[in-house]
């Protein structure tokens, strides 16, 4: 009868531990690996070789539970996590930097825009006082932001942009300082001051354009005319002031000339009336006519100069009390003539009125008429 392979019992000096499958000496009673009994008790069947082999296979650990594999896998995970963390940190650092720079730039942009609006709105020299204060405020802000951007932790790929920003703010401050100097003393502002402001503004404009190029995440940009509008407005207000000043000076000079002319004319008119009355008191007809217009000479009663007319009383003196300019060609003069009674010696006054006119044909002032006055 033919035996099957499974029925054949293998006899060796080694046996498999029935518990853990480890190979042990047949002469041993207990497994050196797990400590279990190596031999069956009486009455138990002898362990088959194939069963021991199957049992050993079952006890083997899968590869993914291997300690070496687990160690390498853990190292891989740590490295991958470190790389991911580094990438995230770098990416997050860049975004944080952009956010901070945008905030700094927005402050500069807003303050400059507010300054330009105030400058554009001004229309007189008195406005420069408030403008100078505003410029000083913006200048301080620019300095603070320059310090802030300088101290900002900057990723390597943005360092050129940072340097450009710091330089632009420095140029911007120089422009503001020149602007404030002019605003502090607007009446002393010169063409050279305007030219200096214009040049510094152009330098700042170029510097800011480099910032836009190197920090391309900046959205809002200063307009191309942001500096020229300020310079233009300064020029306009200054020119308007100088025109007004020239006009005021001209008006002042004209007023001074007229006042002087009036004073001179008044003195001449009063001298004329005094001379007229002196001739009248003296009864000198020929002298009297020197101070009279042609029309007045025809109307005057020369009989008042005669001895008969002055038999009982005579004019002793005369004093001017009021001189009024009624037009460029006429003055009204008021005065008091002192009369003396020949018999009693008593005295009284007669109020006189004189119309003195400028006679163009004679180019001089002359008495055109006189009268008794209530003044």
pLDDT in tens, 349-372: 999 999 999 999 999 999 999 999
Residue 140 lies in a domain: yes
Query: What would the pLDDT profile of 14-31 be if each residue is shown by its tens digit?
Result: 777 888 878 877 778 788
- Report if residue 151 sits inside a domain: yes
CB 171 within 8 A of CB 204: yes
Write down the pLDDT at residue 43: 44
* Rounded Cα–Cα distance for residues 230 and 122 (Å): 11
* pTM of this prediction exceeds 0.95: no
Verify that 102 and 216 share a domain, yes or no: yes
Say yes or no to pLDDT of 83 above 60. Answer: no
Domain of residue 191: give its range.
Answer: 97-226
Please indicate, yes or no, if residue 33 is contained in any of the structural domains.
yes
Average confidence score pLDDT of the chain: 86
Q: Is the pLDDT of residue 46 over 80?
A: no
- Give the CA-trace dihedral at 213, 217, 218, 221, to 10 degrees: 50
C-alpha–C-alpha distance, residues 119 and 235, integer Å: 11
Question: Quick check: 223 and 173 in contact, CB under 8 A?
Answer: no
Give the pLDDT band of residue 44 (cuts 50, 70, 90).
Answer: very low
Dig out the tokens for 346 from the structure.
């008593």
Contacts of 316 (CB under 8 A, 6+ apart): 281, 338, 339, 340, 347
| Local confidence band at 42 (pLDDT 50, 70, 90 cut-offs) | very low
Confidence of residue 244 (pLDDT cuts 50, 70, 90): confident
Count structural domains, the chain.
3
pLDDT tens profile 284-294: 999 999 999 99
User: Tokens 């360092």 appear where?
Assistant: 159
Distance of CA 37 to the CA centre of its chain: 98
Residue that is last in its domain, among 226, 257, 273: 226
> What is the band of 85 on the pLDDT scale with cuts at 50, 70, 90?
very low
The verdict on 202 and 307 lying in the same domain is no
Tokens (6 digits) for 337:
């003539």
């Amino acid at each position: 009868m033919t035996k099957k392979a499974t029925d054949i019992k293998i006899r060796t000096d080694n046996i498999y531990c029935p518990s853990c499958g480890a190979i042990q000496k047949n002469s041993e009673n207990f497994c050196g690996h797990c400590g279990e009994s190596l031999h069956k008790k009486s009455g138990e069947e002898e362990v088959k070789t194939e069963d021991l082999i199957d049992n050993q296979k079952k006890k083997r650990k899968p590869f993914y539970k291997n300690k070496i594999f687990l160690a390498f896998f853990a190292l891989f995970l740590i490295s991958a996590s470190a790389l991911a963390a580094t990438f995230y940190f770098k990416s997050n650092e860049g975004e944080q930097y952009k956010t901070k720079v945008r905030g700094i730039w927005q402050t500069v942009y807003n303050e400059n825009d507010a300054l330009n609006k105030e400058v554009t709105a001004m229309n007189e020299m008195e406005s420069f006082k408030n403008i100078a204060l505003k410029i000083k405020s913006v200048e301080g802000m620019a300095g603070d932001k320059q310090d802030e951007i300088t101290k900002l932790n900057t990723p390597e790929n943005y360092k050129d942009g940072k340097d450009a920003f710091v330089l632009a703010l420095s140029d911007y401050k120089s422009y503001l300082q020149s602007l404030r100097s002019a605003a502090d003393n607007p009446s002393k502002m010169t063409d050279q001051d305007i030219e200096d402001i214009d040049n510094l503004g152009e330098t700042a404009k170029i510097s800011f354009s480099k910032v836009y190029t190197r920090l391309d995440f900046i959205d809002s940009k200063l307009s191309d005319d942001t500096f020229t509008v300020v310079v233009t407005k300064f020029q306009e207000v200054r020119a308007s002031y100088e025109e007004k000043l020239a006009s005021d000076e001209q008006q002042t000079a004209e007023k001074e000339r007229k006042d002087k002319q009036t004073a001179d004319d008044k003195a001449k008119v009063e001298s004329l009336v005094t001379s007229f009355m002196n001739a009248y008191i003296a009864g000198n007809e020929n002298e009297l006519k020197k101070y009279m217009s042609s029309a007045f000479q025809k109307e005057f009663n020369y009989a008042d100069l005669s001895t008969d007319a002055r038999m009982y009383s005579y004019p002793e003196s005369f004093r001017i009390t009021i001189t009024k300019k009624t037009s460029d060609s006429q003055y009204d003069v008021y005065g008091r003539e002192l009369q003396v009674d020949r018999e009693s010696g008593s005295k009284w006054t007669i109020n006189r009125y004189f119309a003195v006119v400028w006679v163009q044909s004679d180019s001089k002032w002359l008495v055109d008429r006189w009268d008794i006055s209530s003044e």
